[in-house]
Amino acid sequence: MWWVRSTNVEADLKGLELDCGFSHPYGVEGEISYSISKATDGRGQRLEYKPPNVFAWTVRARRDLSRHLAIGVTFSGKRVSSVTAGNQFDFSEQVCVENASLPDYASGLLYGYLQIDRAKVFCRVTNLFNDQIYPAWGRPQLPARSYEVGISWELWD
């Protein structure tokens, strides 16, 4: 049986925010959010680099196998709609494009671990969905997909 932990809806003249948190008695929990924005300032001018639609999710699961052993996984992501990028200078063509647009993208994280007492063996994949990266002035560039495997150790509580 799933439980809704929290819901939040905020609306104003600039847009709408929906948030919902959920959990399951077997150690699964998560959040889902959706944002609709006019992406304009107080004078009605379009804000560059502000996506009008953003959908985000996070799902975490943890299971204690014994007093000293636990496993867990986290899957989170974000889907962002295309944005106006204003005047962009293209270095390959040496031209300036007025009112350029950057396509939508999805970004994700998959993180899993095995915890033994204070030690964690983990693996992580970041930018799970990104096949293409769109750099633009004023917008942070997403890093390429990366893989990580490691061990962490907690020395003190």
pLDDT in tens, 70-115: 999 999 998 888 776 666 555 555 555 556 666 677 788 899 999 9
pLDDT in tens, 118-143: 899 999 998 888 655 555 555 556 67
For the chain, the domains span 40-153
In sign, the C-alpha dihedral spanning 15, 76, 138, 135 is negative
Report the distance separating Cα 68 and Cα 126, nearest Å.
28
- pTM, 2 dp: 0.71
